[in-house]
Structure 1
Amino acid sequence: MNDVAQAVRLARVDLTLVFRNRTAFVNAVLLPLLIAGALASNGVGEGTAGIPGTQYVMTGMMAFILVFATFMNLAGFYTSRREEMVLKRLLGGPATRTAVLGGSALGATAVYLGQVVILCVLMSAAMGTSAPADILLLLLAALLGAAFFSLLAMAVSGLSSTGEMAQIATLPVVLLLVGGSPVMLPPEMLPPALRTVIEFLPMTPIVETMRTAYLGLDYIGAGHEPLGPLERWSAALPSLGLLAVWIAVAALLARAFFRWDPRRG
């Protein structure tokens, strides 16, 4: 059995555990959707960056909820499994290290993609929006974002001694990345110096690319003009390149800090 097949099998096991565990189901699946709905209902007013405020915030929420399943919960999951020797036992079987880590990340990504689909349906039903203008670009941004946060979760896990501590350790990162991104507020509303810094944080290219892909408008540049299929991909290339750099940084951090052996005696 190759790494991909092993990872898929382990992802199915992880998903089964999430949906059977009430606490995990609420934290990883329901809570992000409830938070997204609550924040979107308090949108920043009509005419935000050329569209209704609720619609602007809701498209930002598609990127925001990444931090739950693929970062906060996954960091705690990796840490708990390591401390309980589950990771070591899995390595004793046919699964490789790539399959063990990739299986959990794949399961978390599946949860996140399901949440994105739900948000798209809600936007269409409640706000009368059309389907995403570019599903492939939206999916690519979602998958790259999930890869970044999954790798970052591995790094945080290696620095934490318990699952609870791992989730607490993710909070400053979440506040920095989400607070410093155009999830709810357009960059044009920020001071120029702060705007320049925010443009290079990893959450910004995820938010801007997903918003551009969903609405078909240029939210990577400053004009918010309608874009054709090729224009959307051309506009997104710098953001995708920046995100690829951040994925490489997260991979280096994961390689440096992730641990297979328990931190506690």
Structure 2
Amino acid sequence: MSTSSSPTPLCLPAPCDSVATASGHFAALSRAELALFWRSKSNLFNVLVIPAMIVMGTTTIMKQFDLTGAGLAMGQVMISTSAGVVLVMALYAPLIGTYVLRREEHVLKRLRTGEVGDVVILAAPAVPMALAALVQFALISGAVAAVAGLGLPAAPHLVVLGIVLGIVLTTAVAALSTAAARTAESAQGISTIGFLLLLLTSGTLVPLETLPPAFGAVLRYFPLTPVIELVRAGWSGRGADPSHALTCVAVLLAWTLLCTWAARRRFRWEPRT
């Protein structure tokens, strides 16, 4: 009696193993980036001090607008302003320089030839700046709330949602912006143009409620505007209804997906010749 042996099944790596490997790579690279970040005094000053100084300086700008007539309070406006300033100054601007510098030093190319995935390679450098942005926003918003007597946010989940999604979006925009930077020196110019556009079109420096209605309605669909609106709605309770929050989240996710798709196509992993 002959017996036929069953074919040996093809063994594929389990999905959980891939996730564990990616998590390990991400943790290792993040630790290395954190160590490099804390060693640089210029990084600490640029990311931890300058954003707070800019937020303090914007109080003079806000006094030029009729906030009361627009139904806004200075304290709530300053908290939402701090969210935009921190994301742009503590995350977007320095992250562009980091990406370009790693590219020019062939670090990105070497990492990519190994087992590390593209998403992990680009996400790890953002970790120190994202943490700094979170700490900055918590300290600034807490100080403003204490001085203005605002108390705790009415809908804290909207504040957290806006900041977290804003960090993801800002990281994607930074990766996309590096496509226009040939060298680390030119990255400074690109980041300056980028953060001015992000701040001026999001209601960070000029509240949309003080602009002509048609102009303000268009700017509500710009990349960083939903972050400002979610933070303000979360703190004041005004505009915290589910429909408004879902619209802001949808706009944020749409811009994040668009910038991520464009960054995957345009991001350069090797120095430009």
Distance 1:253 1:4, change over 3 A: same
How far residue 116 of structure 1 moved from its aligned partner, in angstroms, is: 1.2
One-letter code of the match for 2:22? D
What is the TM-score when the length of structure 2 is the normalising length? 0.83
Instruction: Give the aligned partner of residue 211 of structure 1.
Output: 232
Give, in angstroms, the shift of residue 92 of structure 1: 4.7
Q: 1:79 corresponds to which letter in structure 2?
A: V
Are the equivalent residues in 1 in contact too, given 2:78–2:144 (CA < 8 A)?
A: no
CA contact (8 A) 2:88 2:198 kept: no
Q: Which moved more, 1:146-155 or 1:62-71?
A: 62-71
Name the aligned partner's letter for residue 50 of structure 1.
Answer: G
Deviates more, 1:246-255 or 1:132-141: 132-141
Q: Which of 240, 249, 261 is the equivalent residue of 2:249?
A: 240
Cross-structure match for 1:221 = none
- Shift in CA distance, 205/84, structure 1 to aligned 2, threshold 3 Å: same
Deviations 1:94-122 (A, max 9, x none): 53322211111233221211111111221
1:261 to 247, 270, 273: 270
Q: Label 1:195 to 1:120 Cα distance change in 2 as closer, same or farther (>3 A).
A: closer
1:88 offset after TM fit, Å?
Answer: 2.3
Q: Which residue of 2 aligns with 1:224?
A: none
- Cα deviations across residues 175-200 of structure 1 (Å, max 9, x unaligned)? 22211222243323212332232122
Q: Is 1:129 aligned to 2:138, yes or no? A: no
- Structure showing greater Rg: 2
Alignment match of 1:39 (pick from 41, 48, 58): 58
Distance 2:244 2:145 in 1: 25
Give 1:210 deviation, angstroms.
1.1
Q: 1:185 aligns with which of 195, 203, 206?
A: 206
2:187 corresponding residue in structure 1: 166
Counterpart AA for 1:10: L
Q: Which residue does 2:42 correspond to in 1? A: 23
User: Higher mean Cα deviation, 156-165 or 28-37?
Assistant: 156-165
Per-residue deviation, 1:35: 0.8
Distance 1:107 1:217, change over 3 A: same
Give the structure 2 partner of residue 141 of structure 1: 162
In the alignment, what sits opposite 1:97?
A: 118
Give the 3 Å change call, closer, same or farther, for CA 135–192 of structure 1 in structure 2.
closer
**Which of 120, 135, 140 does residue 119 from structure 1 map onto?**
140
Aligned pair partner of 1:13 in 22, 28, 32: 32
Q: Give the % identical residues.
A: 29
SS of 1:74's equivalent?
A: helix
**Matched residue type, 2:98:** F
Distance 1:50 1:182 in 2: 15
CA distance in 1, matches of 2:89, 2:179: 18
Q: CA deviation at 1:172?
A: 2.3
**Partner Cα distance (1:13, 1:19) in 2:** 10
Q: 2: distance between equivalents of 1:159 and 1:82?
A: 13
TM-superposed CA distance for 1:73, in Å, is: 0.7
Tell me the distance in 2 between the aligned counterparts of 1:90 and 1:22: 26
Number of residues of Structure 1 aligned to a counterpart in Structure 2: 252
The CA distance in 2 between the partners of 1:8 and 1:127, in whole Å, is 39
* SS class of match (1:185): coil
Give the Cα separation in 1 of the matches to 2:56 and 2:30.
Answer: 27
Matches of 2:269 and 2:195, distance apart in 1 = 25
Question: Does 1:85 find its partner at 2:106?
Answer: yes
Tell me, what secondary structure is at the counterpart of 1:2?
Answer: helix
- Which is further off, 243-252 or 121-130? 121-130
Runs of 4 or more, structure 1, over 6 Å off, are none
